Amino acid sequence: MSITGRTFIEKFESYCPQWLAEEGDPVGLHIGTLNKEMKTIMVTLDVRPEVVAEAIEKQVDLIIAKHPPIFRPAKRLDTDQPQTKMYADLLKNDIAVFAAHTNLDIIDNGLNDWFCEHLGIQHTTYLTKTHTVPYKKLAVFVPVDHAAEMRTALGQAGAGTQGDYVNTSYSLIGTGRFTPVGGANPTIGELNKEECVQEAKIEVIFPETIEEQVLAAMYEVHPYEEPAFDLYTIDNLKKNYGLGRVGELDKPVPLSQFVETIKKTFSLEGLRLVAVDEEKEIKRVAICGGSGEKFYKDALAKQVDVYITGDVYYHTAHDMEAEGLTVIDPGHHIEELCMPELVKLFNQWKKDYNWDVSFIQSEINTNPFKFR
């Protein structure tokens, strides 16, 4: 079926919500409208004039970008400037641009997790905590013969996810009693007559951020005109999110070997290395895509053997070296890994929801640095 940009972004934001982005990060819709039909959606790391030209040639309707195209406010719209002209080209050709930046770094099954998968880093946790989300519990009462439908609907809305498990719930069978009066239009029973119904009490947990969609799913399938349910915050479970990842390799490897693995994995001609001991062995690894030098103290606190991040500043490298932290700087552009991974994810959604839309990745290399 055909889809609008709004439909696609609603699904995308259920996976990668804007509220997870770091404060001040300009994620979301930058240019154009989502209220139109989508035939071709292109994923890119950067929105550059040559990428826009590619999008025009390929008749793209929406660009999903890792890096926001308008990161700082534009002071002038002078189309004699290439960077500004591309905004006009996007509008003229009705191409919308939507950015997912630090929220794509933070989410589970996001960019930092994909880095770990490709490098064989296992048993991961976050490097730097950014958000804590309380959990809630919903206890809803339904006739026993509607219980399976309710559990399915709540699970599809995201309730019942706990660790490595999904669709978790608890059910208790009991007797529900009610008397319809006045203008009631009962699904079961008669006006002014007490009714007894065998009901299931279904309990599910979920992060409070999806409360609205969970309750909407409950109301959608509940047979009663006045559903009975309890909703409360629970204190013994919270969901933590963070930037970067810390994990371990399957077995220790020499630093020199690990460097070559990184170069091969990301097709690098070279990288920068900060290391007092180039012969040390690597087992425990921290990684933060993009420019993550400011989190190096967290890597030290996590007692890692090496920290991988881009754009390390000269004087910060001195500080890292003085504190004995081994650092690999493969550059910022390794974040291009988001393109094939997102296209793979989007194509799975296309299959799941029978969408009539094409997902492609940009073929333009936007890395400004070359090694000679």
Any idea what the Cα angle at residue 367 is, between residues 363 and 372, rounded to 5°?
A: 120
Element (DSSP H or E) covering residue 147: helix 147-156
Query: Residue 164's pLDDT band (boundaries 50, 70, 90)?
Result: confident
How far is it, in rounded angstroms, from Cα 295 to Cα 279? 24
Q: Which two tokens stand for residue 170?
A: 């608890």
- Model confidence, pTM: 0.88
Percent of the chain with pLDDT over 90: 84
Q: Worst-scoring range by mean pLDDT, 162-171, 181-190, 304-313?
A: 181-190
The amino acid occupying position 307 is Y
Residue 367 has pLDDT above 80, yes or no: yes
DSSP H stretches of helix in 69-146: 82-92, 102-106, 111-119
Task: Tell me the average pLDDT across 135-159.
Answer: 96
Q: Which pLDDT value is given to residue 192?
A: 84
Residue 77 has pLDDT above 80, yes or no: yes
Domains and CATH numbers, the chain: 3-103+336-361 (3.40.1390.30), 106-129+241-333 (3.40.1390.30), 133-240 (3.30.70.120)
Residue 293 has pLDDT above 80, yes or no: yes
Residue 255 has pLDDT above 80, yes or no: yes
Per-residue pLDDT tens digits for 106-129: 999 999 999 999 999 999 999 999
How far is it, in rounded angstroms, from Cα 135 to Cα 236? 9
Which pairs count as long-range contacts for 318-324, CB under 8 Å and 24+ apart, including other chains? 320/274, 320/293, 320/296, 321/274, 321/276, 324/276
